[in-house]
A and B are shown apart, each in its own frame.
Chain A
């Protein structure tokens, strides 16, 4: 069955960097667009970024543009989110999610999430 497992979260100081990873299984990773979505404590869902199946296309929410970079390695079956210049407001659970078939931009499978805390 489809599984997505995130890792790399933790406590980081404002201005610091962190790299999140997501390891998929149960499907052909290279066939799907992938995305990161976050949820601040007690708040709703915010889309962060997506990447196309072959990494040709990426897209970012304005609030992370220029600070976060999404990437993937299809040979290693891994998705990444490099987060730089972190701010307190980036504190959230970050979910890796698969984008539905035919790039329909809904999220049909989600990981369990990894918590990023930005605090001094």
Chain B
């Protein structure tokens, strides 16, 4: 089956620093990748959608200058949380798919738990 990895799985950083999270599709080419954020006891909230080679589309209320998304290849998307603050602490999950490849579902990565001190 389609496998998506994320790195790192956990990260702890100081307030004001930037953190980069990688999302990779390991055995398929992902034309579209999605980034979600999940706070404790809550559902997943879509942050942005990225298509390979084009700018990400951000959901309302998500600061594009704070959450930088790059989808430079068909197997890699990165999310950089710039100048992180404690309120950015959350569980970040990516998913990937290839609609043109006939996939009808998104394949989820294992998630990255970010803690900002």
* A-B complex is real: no
Residue ranges of A at the interface with B (Cβ–Cβ < 8 Å): none
